[in-house]
Chain A
Amino acid sequence: KAGVTQTPRYLIKTRGQQVTLSCSPISGHRSVSWYQQTPGQGLQFLFEYFSETQRNKGNFPGRFSGRQFSNSRSEMNVSTLELGDSALYLCASSFGYSSTDTQYFGPGTRLTVL
């Protein structure tokens, strides 16, 4: 079974631009979560989707948004990029949204904002 895939793997943008990151979960998984990983703040939860509905949201500004499609693929969008948005963005999928469901992480998208 293929793992979680994220595209693109690397991205360079300039301040003020917007960016869309994509995540394809493991086949059969219906829950997708997004995390931001930075050296200073560590791993921080962005949001979680299950069956196209946002179930949970972290403490990030409205510039960060996401959505999930009927095939469980998910995208996250960051508008009006800031230098501080430079980070590794990780996506994780699980079968359900229960705490007992193991999350499987993708390789991440490394975003650099210049």
Chain B
Amino acid sequence: AQTVTQSQPEMSVQEAETVTLSCTYDTSESDYYLFWYKQPPSRQMILVIRQEAYKQQNATENRFSVNFQKAAKSFSLKISDSQLGDAAMYFCAYRGNNYGQNFVFGPGTRLSALP
């Protein structure tokens, strides 16, 4: 079974600084997708960024980028120029590309943004 680990339960970042959230996963599959979701306090969870495992190029969405290391099974999220609105729980998630695969989420990292 696939597992997703986020070793940092809590992180903090100063406004305008850069922070990196870690995620590792375990799978025997070669074709899969990785995701970072953001869940702000009392608000809906939204997709931040997605990475296809067959793509070597790291995904980027504005201030959010990932460092995908397939051999190491590592998928970290970098937030640049942090804003107060980045404060949230961040979940790393895995989904295999085979029939019947469901999402497997990590335990989450709570990010605090400081002015």
Contact = CB atoms under 8 A, between A and B. Distances in A.
Interface stretch (B13-21, B42-50, B58-66, B74-82): B42-50
A106 B33 contact: no
Contact of B105 (A3, A43, A102, A106): A43
B105 A42 contact: yes
Interface residues of B, number: 22
B102 A106 contact: no
Nearest to A106: B44
Interface string B93-107: 001110011111111
Contacts of B104: 45
Instruction: Classify chain A's interface size.
Output: 20 to 34
- Interface SS of chain A: strand
Among A55, A104, A105: residue with most chain B CB under 10 A: A105
A45 B43 contact: no
Among A4, A42, A44, A102: residue with most chain B CB under 10 A: A42
B92 to A, nearest CB: 11
A33 B43 contact: no
A105 B96 CA distance: 19
B91 interface: yes
B95 A99 contact: yes
A105 B44 contact: yes
Given A42-B105, A42-B108, A43-B105, A105 B46 contact: yes
B91 A43 contact: yes
Interface of A: 3-4, 33, 35, 42-45, 48, 55-56, 58, 90, 99-100, 102-108
Interface of B: 32-33, 37, 43-47, 50, 91, 95-97, 100-108
